[in-house]
Amino acid sequence: LEEFVVTIETRLTKRLRIKHPIVLAPMTPASGGALASAVAAAGGLGLLGGGYVDRVWFEAESAKVTRPDIGAGFIAWTIPEDPGLLDYALERYPRAMMLSYADPATYAPKIKKAGVPMICQVHTLEQALHAVDIGADVIVAQGTEAGGHGLGVRSTMPLVPAVVDALAARAPEVPVLAAGGIADGRGLAAALMLGADGVLMGTRFYATQEALVPSAAKAAVVAATGDETVRTSIYDIANGRFWPEGYTGRVVRNDFVKKWLGHEDELKRVRAEELKKVQQAFGSGDFDVGNVTVGESIGLIHDVPKAGDVVERIVAEAEASFEKYARQRIAA
């Protein structure tokens, strides 16, 4: 039995039975068992990063999960590579299943039948409307400033309220999470002002002690400003991962990106040897070459704390932000 103190209560905290309206993005490989558990322990929702349905990784990280109240997430267009992993995750993590980057309609019946809340990440208003039509229980409206993959055509500030308005008419019970560009309590407060019920954060949790990326990658996040990221397909090309049309990934604009940006066709011809360099670099901590898959909010990140401290800090900052103007109005 946990002590349960409501601070910022929203439709999300009620629907998913969490203390704070903060959700960990199911990043691969950053969001492993330790990180998902730490976010849950601090009162947020931790989502284990199923990513490209890598069963070996997923089972290994499942062994590190310390609590029953986490969820999971997958890159939906890769599920056919191992459909059984979705079943495994639904059984093991009934708190929530998040799908991204493909039509969720294919898997909605299975998720709904399992009684697991289905979180659908969308990048446009059109995708949001489709997602609620096929049964999404929570919508993540992700702007182009986010790290990792997306369509890159909408930004968080105008996308979130447009989705909120559209859902108010079409699916008024569905909470909306803002994602993209949010890394502190100011961002959480802003998202709530836009009408969101909470935030999904990847980049901020990437630079935490529990995140499963090399410490040199976290140091690269702390060092860079928000001007130093870019959307590109370069690492997907090197990896031989054929993403659906329109999807690019935001990464730090390092030497490897600068070298290949605009030379994608050439990269396709030499991708095998370039992939070796990327993998070696990731392993050895050389992030001038290895990918640092994060968003513009790196400009707001200056340390590598514990994930639980991040959650607490963000809630306190958001409350302070509200009070600044609440107090002012009373004074005026």
Does 139 engage in binding with a second copy (CB under 8 A)? no
Q: Is residue 159 a contact residue for a second copy (CB under 8 A)?
A: yes
SS3 for 83-134, per residue?
A: HHHHHHHHHHCCCCEEEECCCHHHCHHHHHHCCCCEEEEECCHHHHHHHHHC
293 belongs to the binding site for a second copy (CB under 8 A): no
User: Can you tell me which of 44, 50, 180, 249 binds a second copy, judged by CB under 8 A?
Assistant: 180
Closer residue to a second copy (CB): 35 or 163: 163
Min dist CB 80 to a second copy, Å, is 28
Residues 6+ positions from 193 with CB-CB distance below 8 Å: none
| Residue number, 118 or 122, with CB nearest to a second copy | 122
Lookup: tokens for 297? 């909010």
142 binds a second copy, rule: CB under 8 A: no
With CB under 8 A as the contact rule, the residue among 28, 100, 124, 291 that binds a second copy is 124
E strand residue ranges, the chain: 22-24, 47-51, 71-75, 97-100, 118-122, 138-142, 148-150, 176-179, 198-201, 229-232, 248-252
Any contact of residue 227 with a second copy (CB under 8 A)? Answer: yes
- Specify the amino acid at residue 214: P
Per CB under 8 A, 133 contacts a second copy: no
d(CA 255, CA 310): 30
Q: Which of 116, 192, 237, 294 binds a second copy (CB under 8 A)?
A: 192
Q: How far apart are CA 251 and CA 86, in angstroms?
A: 27
Residues forming contacts to a second copy in the complex (CB under 8 A) are: 6-9, 124-126, 143-145, 153-159, 161-162, 165, 180-184, 186-187, 189-195, 225-227, 230, 295-297, 299-300, 318-319, 321-323, 325-326, 328-329, 332
